[in-house]
């Protein structure tokens, strides 16, 4: 993808996502005073994490766009932005994954001893998972950054040039394998996140559908706000997982083709990957806004206030 095409597509998408995350941040800081909207831990931590790292991820993409469209290319800045791009993206996906696990544990009943223990200690489990994920991703990011510092081979005019060249070649091999290890960590993290999201949301949806059918057969009403909220969150979670599939498929394709001998990289400047990531991030933020009452009802109250002020000015 051409750099200017990338800037023209990714720029508006990332800007829209940034604005949306700013609105979500305001909603979390000033939640609506509506009955039924009560954020408890660890849900609040997950939502804050998703909003913050989604904002940082889209801001990083905007820096890519600015570097392409406005500023001259600076390799050191590009490497730093690249690491921030991967870190914020994977951490945000980790929060989304743990959100799916949280809703599955809270909605779907299970009599297994391990499940009961997890449900009883869900806060600690989620906190530990978030910290562990960030530690793994940060380690992978450091390895990837170090792998870009591989020494360059230079012509040497001395009797020991053969030994020095061999040492440089060995050092380059070490840096090369460090980069490979980082790629494997990122790829496995994406696959595990995608599989967990699909399994959690689909299992939750199947349980809710069966529960709804049982209530229909017993002529019991199933219009309770809690049930509607659970179904809405589950459906938007499935949509989010479905949208994540093309991005995950693209990353795995890039990893596989890059590992093949004589490969032809169809995305040498990472513009396609970055564009797909920005689009998925925007769609993910939209799904989050629809699924969570704290965002949806706060935005509605803000719009009502704006319309009321406009009517007062016109009147």
pLDDT tens figures, 219-238: 665 556 677 788 888 889 89
Higher-pLDDT residue of 116, 267: 116
Q: According to the per-residue pLDDT averaged within each range, which of 32-36, 259-263, 264-268 is highest? A: 264-268
Residue 263 has pLDDT above 70, yes or no: no
Question: What's residue 258's pLDDT?
Answer: 66
> What is the C-alpha end-to-end distance of the chain, expressed in Å?
52
Residues in the chain: 315
Per DSSP, the three-state class of 99 is: helix
For residues 4 and 275, the answer to whether their CB atoms sit within 8 Å is no
Q: Which residues of 189-210 are buried (b: 16+ CB within 10 A; e: fewer)?
A: bbeebbebbbebbbbbbebbee
Domains of the chain, earliest start first:
3-151+164-296 (1.20.1070.10)
For residues 96 and 247, the answer to whether their CB atoms sit within 8 Å is no
pLDDT tens figures, 126-159: 999 999 988 888 888 887 777 766 555 444 444 4
**In the chain, how long is the greatest CA-to-CA distance?**
92
Residue 170 has pLDDT above 60, yes or no: no
- How many of the other CB atoms lie within 10 Å of CB of 51? 23
Question: What's residue 187's pLDDT?
Answer: 81
Q: According to the per-residue pLDDT averaged within each range, which of 222-231, 270-279, 301-310 is highest? A: 270-279
């Amino acid at each position: 993808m051409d750099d200017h095409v990338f800037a023209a597509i990714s720029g508006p998408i990332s800007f829209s996502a940034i604005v949306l995350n700013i609105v979500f941040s305001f909603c979390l800081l000033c939640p609506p005073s509506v009955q039924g909207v009560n954020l408890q831990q660890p849900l609040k931590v997950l939502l804050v994490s998703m909003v913050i790292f989604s904002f940082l991820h889209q801001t990083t993409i905007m820096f890519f766009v600015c570097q392409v469209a406005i500023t001259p290319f600076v390799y050191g800045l590009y490497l730093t932005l690249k690491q921030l791009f991967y870190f914020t993206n994977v951490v945000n996906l980790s929060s989304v994954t743990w959100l799916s696990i949280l809703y599955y544990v809270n909605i779907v009943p299970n009599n297994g001893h391990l499940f009961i223990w997890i449900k009883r200690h869900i806060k600690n489990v989620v906190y530990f998972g978030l910290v562990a994920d960030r530690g793994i991703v940060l380690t992978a990011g450091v390895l990837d950054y170090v792998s870009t510092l591989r020494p360059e081979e230079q012509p040497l005019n001395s009797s020991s040039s053969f030994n020095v060249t061999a040492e440089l070649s060995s050092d380059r091999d070490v840096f090369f394998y460090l980069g490979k290890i980082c790629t494997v960590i990122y790829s496995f993290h994406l696959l595990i996140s995608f599989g967990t999201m699909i399994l959690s949301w689909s299992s939750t949806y199947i349980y809710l559908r069966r529960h709804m059918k049982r209530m229909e057969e017993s002529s019991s009403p199933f219009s309770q706000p809690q049930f509607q909220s659970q179904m809405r969150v589950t459906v938007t979670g499935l949509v989010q997982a479905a949208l994540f599939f093309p991005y995950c498929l693209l990353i795995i394709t890039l990893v596989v083709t890059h590992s093949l001998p004589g490969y032809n990289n169809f995305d040498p400047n990472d513009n396609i990957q970055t564009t797909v990531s920005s689009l998925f991030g925007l769609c993910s933020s939209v799904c989050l806004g629809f699924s969570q009452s704290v965002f949806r009802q706060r935005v509605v109250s803000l719009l009502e206030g704006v319309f009321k002020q406009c009517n007062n000015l016109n009147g």
